[in-house]
Amino acid sequence: MHKVLVVDDNLLFRTVLKETLNSRFRNIKILEAGDGEKALEEIETSVPDLILMDIQLPGENGLQLTKQIKARYPHIRVAIVTSYDEPEYRDAAYRCKADHYIPKDTFLTVINSVLSDESFLLSPFSSRS
């Protein structure tokens, strides 16, 4: 069973996302956190396969949290899932070692690819070395 950690400060978004993922993907366990501190606690307790990370979080932002997580757990895939589809955010996500930058309207396709161990359908960083 795959584990997915959803890190977003919006409880309604996390709830809807969790319900959507559970209805689409039967082979996952959804963990959730509303801030960076809780996210780090969840990772220590139950290392996820995939983290869906929002940028705007209380305290440390999602980009800096991603950098911290990737330094300690390079095998965990981190996808920045955001409404901000701007080049400067994509570049910052890349510099913080995020594996993917996903506009919220396309993330289900990517999650399906990750959980079925296929190549990612969307990989904005794949052309960079």
Domain membership of residue 123 (yes or no) is no
Residue 14 belongs to domain spanning? 2-115
Residue 61 counted as domain residue: yes
Query: Is 129 part of a structural domain of the chain?
Result: no
Task: Report which DSSP code applies to 129.
Answer: -
Q: What is the DSSP string of 19-57?
A: HHHHHH-TTEEEEEESSHHHHHHHHHHS--SEEEE-S--
pTM of the model: 0.81
Does 82 score more than 50 pLDDT?
Answer: yes
Within a domain: 107: yes
Query: For residue 75, what is the domain's CATH number?
Result: 3.40.50.2300
Query: Is residue 49 a contact partner of residue 114, using CB atoms and an 8 Å limit?
Result: yes
Domain count along the chain: 1
Categorize the per-residue pLDDT at 117 as very low, low, confident or very high, splitting at 50, 70 and 90: low
CA distance 93 to 110: 17
